[in-house]
């Protein structure tokens, strides 16, 4: 991402799951483009490292400790941003978990289902609720929810993950319509990546009996012949966070290298 274009200059942004992977790329991109970024994550040491990276190129960032499944922590995190900065302009609900607790509908356990839904769906709901609470008092903002192509097309071995990402997709539309009809000036959109080269996907690949074969399969799934890069997704989120998308709400932006076009 080219620095100095200032597409989100002066905005206050909070990004969850920002200590690694896609969230880290989003935080760095926002800072490069002029935002002050709240690096929100349950992994505080890793979040501090991201803040240090951003400081190296002159960006502004702060750590916000946050377990997205905890309603009290959400309220405290957003209240803290308002106390320090007076507003919240952008919220990216990016934190998520993968397939470790998942399986087909015959294999998934109730505890596994709840673990996935707790982060991927309930965490996004709590983020939207607190984001709307903050933004409606200061004239609006942009909420971006990280879904997946698994929220659009099914995967038989990912029953909980598909359900959670489908929930994010439809929650996004509900939030968008509510805020528009209330005149809050808040936009809400979802982003739908395919497999992206992140530590979470690396863990999934390395858990298989033949990691090299698994990686090759994920790469060949896209007509481009590769997985997405975190910066590919960050660029899409930047568009939705910026004023370039001022008439865009309730939509789903698919970033999948053409997987769902086939």
Query: Can you read off the two tokens belonging to residue 253?
Result: 């932006």
pTM for the model stands at 0.94
- The Cβ-side half-sphere exposure at 74, using a 13 Å CA radius, reads 22
Residue bearing tokens 């989100």: 8
Residues designated as active site: 161
The whole-chain average pLDDT of the chain stands at 94
Q: Please report which helix (H) or strand (E) contains residue 48, including its range.
A: helix 44-56
Query: Rounded to the nearest 5 degrees, what angle is found at the Cα of 234, between the Cα atoms of 197 and 187?
Result: 135
Catalogue all structural domains in the chain, each as residue range(s) with its CATH number. Answer: 12-193+229-253 (3.40.50.720), 197-227 (no CATH)
Query: Can you read off the two tokens belonging to residue 77?
Result: 């995190």
Give the mean pLDDT of 193-197. Answer: 88
Q: What is the SS3 assignment for 126-171? A: HHHHHHHHHHCCCCCEEEEEECCHHHCCCCCCCHHHHHHHHHHHHH
Q: Which residues of 145-168 are buried (b: 16+ CB within 10 A; e: fewer)?
A: bbbbbbbbeeeeebbbbbbbbbbb
Residue bearing tokens 């206050």: 12
Identify the band that residue 153 occupies on the pLDDT scale cut at 50, 70 and 90: very high
> 123-150: per-residue pLDDT in tens?
999 999 999 999 999 999 999 999 999 9
């Amino acid at each position: 991402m080219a620095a100095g274009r200032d597409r989100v200059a002066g905005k206050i942004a909070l990004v969850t799951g920002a200590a690694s992977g896609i969230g880290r790329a989003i935080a760095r991109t926002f800072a490069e483009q002029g935002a002050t970024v709240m690096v929100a994550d349950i992994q505080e040491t890793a979040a501090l490292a991201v803040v240090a990276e951003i400081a190296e190129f002159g960006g502004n960032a702060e750590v916000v400790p946050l377990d997205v499944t905890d309603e009290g922590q959400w309220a405290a995190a957003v209240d803290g941003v308002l106390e320090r900065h007076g507003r919240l302009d952008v919220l990216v609900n990016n934190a998520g978990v993968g397939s470790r607790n998942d399986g087909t509908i015959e294999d998934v356990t109730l505890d596994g289902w709840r673990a996935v839904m707790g982060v991927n769906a309930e965490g996004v709901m709590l983020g939207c609720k607190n984001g709307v609470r903050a933004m409606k008092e200061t004239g609006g903002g942009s909420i971006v929810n990280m879904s997946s192509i698994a929220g659009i097309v099914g995967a038989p071995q990912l029953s909980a993950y598909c359900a959670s990402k489908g929930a994010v997709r439809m929650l996004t539309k509900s939030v968008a319509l509510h805020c528009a009809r209330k005149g809050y000036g808040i936009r809400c959109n979802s982003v739908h990546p395919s497999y992206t080269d992140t530590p979470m996907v690396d863990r999934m690949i390395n858990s298989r009996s033949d990691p090299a074969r698994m990686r090759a399969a994920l790469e060949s799934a896209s007509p481009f012949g590769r997985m997405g890069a975190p910066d590919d997704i960050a660029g899409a989120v930047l568009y939705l966070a910026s004023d370039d998308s001022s008439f865009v709400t309730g939509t789903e932006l698919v970033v999948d290298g053409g997987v769902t076009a086939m």
